[in-house]
Structure 1
Amino acid sequence: MQNQELKYWLAFAKLSLFRNKHFLFHKNFFDSLADFWNASFDALTDAKITDQVAHNFINTRSTINPEQELEYLYKYNLDVLLFDEPNYPSLLKEISSPPLLLFYRGNKEILHQQLFAIVGTRKFSSYGKQITLQLTQKVVDNNLIPVSGLALGIDTIVHQTCVNNHFPTVAVLGCGIDDNTIYPRSNYRLAQEIIKNNGIIISEYSAQTEALKHHFPARNRLISGLSLGTLVTEARQKSGALITAHFALEQNREVFAVPGPITQSTSDGTNNLIKLGAKTVTTVQDILDELNLPQKIAIQKTRNVVPDSPEELEILNQLSSESKHINQIALACKKSITYINAQLLLLEMKGRVHNLGNMHFTLKT
């Protein structure tokens, strides 16, 4: 596409005044997007645009400079997918309010593969961390590409698991995706790793657009809209992850949830989703069966965890896929907590154990 046309796509998207499918209808009344952008009130109403929207458009378009929007695109080295192009994600086109365009950095080809959303609370429990690690790993093992929102908490665990496996993942942001604006800032390096590992970061917001509160519900509709289904691994009753689940239902996509302890508030949201009809997930097979996907790996291979010393062997023998507190390990090994903690830190750095937080650990398989 020529820059002359692209700059107006960028300007219309920044304006956010026309719903996507309406925009394509109105666009057909003009010879070019430049004519549409500069149209008079009469020309706009002749294109079946209501008087109110036409007035709003004329009054606000002067606040946006199409040339500047194009300059930002190149300055920050961003790419863009336009709604009327064949490489725009097909599943996203099916939702009621797909964005006019998507800004992206990374491998756009994965947007046409089988995507699966995994989301959850920012403040997770050790249980939530453990099941998210395990289920994300199994999803990866079965060649489903995880989609999440790069937020702190469960989203970070999902993306980091993919990066650790050198497997692509899709991160959908509620802000610009230029280096200066990626949010949260603590996940800037993770965003770069996602791109390096053949993944992609995407957003409907242009460069330098800050992360505002109302952007995140809008972002969530894209997470679910890109995906065959959405899994909530852990969520409180008012978690933003539940917004993603509700969007998935509206978009006629499958919703999955992991049941959790009734004594933990971090499981209130997921337990309630199951009451409302979400599919219960205890293994990846529950997801594959519901989506009618074959299991790519019938028998998962357990990694050989080879200790480097007798001290490591003693600790590894106390660990399994079940969570264990450091006090239990120290008691079984008859060693001080300080000693066990130092050994566990080394094992974690070697990628042999998972630190679930709150001094709970599992064997990494």
Structure 2
Amino acid sequence: MFFAYSPEALYRAALLYCYSFLSTRQTSMLMRTFKKAHSVWYAPLAELMRAGLQETPATRLIEARKKLNPETIAEELNKKEIQILCIEDPSYPPLLKQLYDAPIALFFRGTLAPHAFSQSLAVVGTRKITPYGRHVISLIVPALAHAGITIVSGMALGSDGFAHTAALDASGTTIAFLGSGIDDDSLYPRSHVPLAHRIIENGGAILSEYPPGTLPLRHHFPVRNRLIAGSTMGVLVTEAAEDSGSLITARLSLEYGRDVFAIPGPIYAPLSIGPNKLIQMGAHAVIAADDILTMLDISSLQELPFENIKPPREALSSNEQKIISALATRPLHVDEVITASMLENKTALTLLTMLELNGHIKHLGNHVYAAI
């Protein structure tokens, strides 16, 4: 696949390559003065400094011109199937444009329809996801996806990855903002490279303001979080410790005037401290997808695909009902299911498989099951 980049897009990309010494605020300031990235790129030192840039970054920008060539950048981006999204483009997140430090451009792979962010929600949480967190996401995210909401997250381990996967499994659209480059060699975490490919192949996208080859340095992620918060209508925090980075995203959402949603949890659970405190501070407590849809004024769910229609529970056998009853209040390990249902091992394992195939329960991993 070959992408044709406009000269303006390539000069903006060149400025993004200078991220190590040129901040987003500085590039935005320069664009307000010079109007075109080409003019910024070739401005003499004195003009750069008159525009408000300090001497050190201005000198480094001039030095960068000797090493960076827009034509070479175009070749690299094409080779890695990376496109450039400028802030004026119709597909650029409209809410993100409102930020004073909105990137002048973003790198992306995949598909970005003009309406991709028109109904979008960030779903974030701990990397150390629990069965409770998995169960919550598996209940809420598919319903949001069926309502036409784009699920946005950061593709991190744990809650982020599970949210992306739940949206994909529901045939929904999901988008990831990364704190690294988006070329295959830079994708992080490495175990989520297949997930990134699945997002791209199923009508979603991965985006970053960092050029290809950028390592996932620790300080990139709080900066990345503003893109997740700024591009969406609101954020749902599923599980988070008191010092979790997910709370940074929630705080930014509040600053940007977005809705903040949180999943309440047991007061003794360390990973429910973050959401519970958010609720204390005024976040919307969520126990079902409808709570979010109502707040976002999205009233009608799209019709579920035929394959998601499951037989009514009244039609289940008495043994199947025993397993459903065992899972009624919380997810359980298979051993706990067998104990609670008082069924033989072989019978219980067979019924668990059939109930999962028919859409009544979900395997959350590590032999833990939850009712749907």
Pairing 1:155–2:155 present: no
Q: Deviations over 1:308-347 (max 9, x none)?
A: xx9x983464125543533343135544557745764676
Query: Tell me, what secondary structure is at the counterpart of 1:269?
Result: helix
For residues 328 and 147 of structure 2, the distance between their equivalents in structure 1, rounded to whole angstroms, comes to: 20
For residues 214 and 253 of structure 1, the distance between their equivalents in structure 2, rounded to whole angstroms, comes to: 24
Pairing 1:84–2:88 present: yes
Pairing 1:208–2:213 present: yes
Aligned residue among 310, 322, 345 for 1:304: 310
Aligned residue among 322, 327, 330 for 2:338: 330
Partner residue in 2 for 1:287: 292
Q: Deviations over 1:250-275 (max 9, x none)?
A: 21111111110011101011111111
Q: Is the 8 A contact 1:10 1:70 kept in 2?
A: no
Partner residue in 2 for 1:233: 238
For residues 214 and 196 of structure 2, the distance between their equivalents in structure 1, rounded to whole angstroms, comes to: 17
For residues 116 and 254 of structure 1, the distance between their equivalents in structure 2, rounded to whole angstroms, comes to: 9
TM, length-normalised to structure 1: 0.86
For residues 116 and 15 of structure 1, the distance between their equivalents in structure 2, rounded to whole angstroms, comes to: 30
Q: How much does 1:10 deviate?
A: 1.1
Q: How much does 1:122 deviate?
A: 0.8
Partner residue in 2 for 1:26: 33
Aligned residue among 26, 35, 41 for 1:37: 41
Q: Is the 8 A contact 1:142 1:295 kept in 2?
A: yes
Q: How much does 1:195 deviate?
A: 1.6
For residues 266 and 330 of structure 1, the distance between their equivalents in structure 2, rounded to whole angstroms, comes to: 28
Pairing 1:177–2:185 present: no
Partner residue in 2 for 1:105: 109
Seen in structure 2, the aligned counterparts of structure 1 residues 60 and 201 have a Cα distance that, compared at 3 Å, is same
For residues 310 and 357 of structure 2, the distance between their equivalents in structure 1, rounded to whole angstroms, comes to: 16
Seen in structure 2, the aligned counterparts of structure 1 residues 169 and 339 have a Cα distance that, compared at 3 Å, is same
Partner residue in 1 for 2:363: 355
Matches within 5 A, 1:339-350: 340-341=348-349, 344=352, 348=356
Over the aligned positions, Cα root-mean-square deviation in angstroms equals 3.0
Query: Tell me, what secondary structure is at the counterpart of 2:254?
Result: helix
Q: How much does 1:70 deviate?
A: 2.2
Seen in structure 2, the aligned counterparts of structure 1 residues 303 and 111 have a Cα distance that, compared at 3 Å, is closer
Query: Tell me, what secondary structure is at the counterpart of 1:105?
Result: strand
- The count of residues paired between Structure 1 and Structure 2 equals 358
Query: Tell me, what secondary structure is at the counterpart of 2:17?
Result: helix
For residues 360 and 15 of structure 1, the distance between their equivalents in structure 2, rounded to whole angstroms, comes to: 47
Partner residue in 2 for 1:58: 62
Q: Is the 8 A contact 1:126 1:358 kept in 2?
A: no
For residues 26 and 322 of structure 1, the distance between their equivalents in structure 2, rounded to whole angstroms, comes to: 60
Q: How much does 1:166 deviate?
A: 1.7
Aligned residue among 190, 195, 200 for 1:190: 195
Partner residue in 2 for 1:131: 136
Query: Tell me, what secondary structure is at the counterpart of 1:146?
Result: strand
Seen in structure 2, the aligned counterparts of structure 1 residues 4 and 356 have a Cα distance that, compared at 3 Å, is closer
| Identity, % of aligned positions | 34
TM, length-normalised to structure 2: 0.85
Q: Which amino acid aligns with 1:70?
A: A
For residues 357 and 185 of structure 2, the distance between their equivalents in structure 1, rounded to whole angstroms, comes to: 30
Q: Deviations over 1:237-292 (max 9, x none)?
A: 11111111111112111111111001110101111111122111112222223223
For structure 1, list consecutive stretches of 5 or more residues without a partner in the other structure. Answer: none
Q: Which of 59-68 and 116-125 deviates more?
A: 59-68
